[in-house]
Structure 1
Amino acid sequence: MTAPAVELQKAIFEAVNDDPDLSAALGDAQLFDRAPENVAFPHMTVGRTSVYDWATGTENNAEQLLTLHVWSKSEASNETTDIMDLVSARLRDAALSLGEHRRAHLKLEFAEARYDEDLSAHHGLLRFHAVIEEDG
């Protein structure tokens, strides 16, 4: 049986990378676990992931926090915020099937866009809260 965190990350990769609006906004880039060297901008990466197991003797459920990062070298911040809006719309309240008879319900918990002086890039953060439940 695959861990729920792995299944959730795979489902999010598929949802984001298969979305035509996001593909158009990101160009040739997409969502990466870790961005390859010399990757084109804009692109997205997966950040910190935390899993909280709240399994009981009869249920095998968990909560997960997952952060997605948006990176842009555009002069204006709107490229970053536009991509963040597309990701939010795609994943907001999504009920993702995780296989192994599990499902995850996503909620956007936190969003922030800022300019990173050290990297000379706009940086967007989207933190999603997922409740992962076994199908009954």
Structure 2
Amino acid sequence: MTAASWELQRSIYQTLSNAPALTSLLGGAHIFSNPPQGEALPYITLGQTVNLDWSTGSEDGTEHSLTLHVWSRADSAQEVHEIIDTLKTLLHDQPLTLQDHDLVNLRHEFTEARIDPDGETMHGIVRYRAVTEPLQQVAA
């Protein structure tokens, strides 16, 4: 069985990279775990994931906290905010498909937009909370 956190990250990546509304803002499918050196902005990076046990007495489950980072060098914060709003539309409460798990929910929790310490780069931080459960196996 594939790890739920990996399935969730893969599904988020596929959803974002196949969304014309987002790729037009980014100038392509510029979504990375680790961007190539010198990659042109804007782009999104898949950041930290924290997993917590969400099991009950009878059901297994995992709570995920996922962070996405938006990077831009536009003259204002407008580009970062437009990308963040598009992320919310694509992910908040959407029924993403996972291979070996059910996605119980995926909810936007937190957004921050700020100027990075370099004084030139706008940095958007977007956090989501998800809950997954293993697919129930049907007895033969």
Question: What TM-score does the superposition give when structure 1 sets the normalisation length?
Answer: 0.93
The equivalent of 2:86 in structure 1 is 86
Q: Using the alignment, how far apart are the partners of 2:119 and 2:35 within structure 1?
A: 14
Q: Deviations over 1:74-124 (max 9, x none)?
A: 111100000000011110111212111422421000001111132620000
SS in 1 for 2:9: helix
- Whether 1:62 aligns to 2:62 is yes
**Moved segments of 4+, more than 4 Å:** none
The equivalent of 1:125 in structure 2 is 125
Q: Using the alignment, how far apart are the partners of 2:115 and 2:28 within structure 1?
A: 23
The equivalent of 1:30 in structure 2 is 30
Distance 1:57 1:83, change over 3 A: same
Q: Using the alignment, how far apart are the partners of 1:23 and 1:130 within structure 2?
A: 24
Q: Using the alignment, how far apart are the partners of 2:29 and 2:90 within structure 1?
A: 17
Q: Using the alignment, how far apart are the partners of 1:118 and 1:125 within structure 2?
A: 16
For 1:125, the aligned partner's letter is I
Distance 1:63 1:113, change over 3 A: same
Q: Using the alignment, how far apart are the partners of 1:84 and 1:56 within structure 2?
A: 34
- Whether 1:13 aligns to 2:13 is yes
Unaligned stretches of 5+ residues in structure 2: none
- Residue-pair matches, total: 136
Unaligned stretches of 5+ residues in structure 1: none
Q: Which has more strand, going by share of residues? A: 1
Q: Deviations over 1:36-59 (max 9, x none)?
A: 111111000011110002234632
SS in 2 for 1:25: helix
The Cα of 1:29 is off from its aligned counterpart by 4.7
CA RMSD of aligned residues (A): 1.5
Q: Using the alignment, how far apart are the partners of 2:72 and 2:61 within structure 1?
A: 36
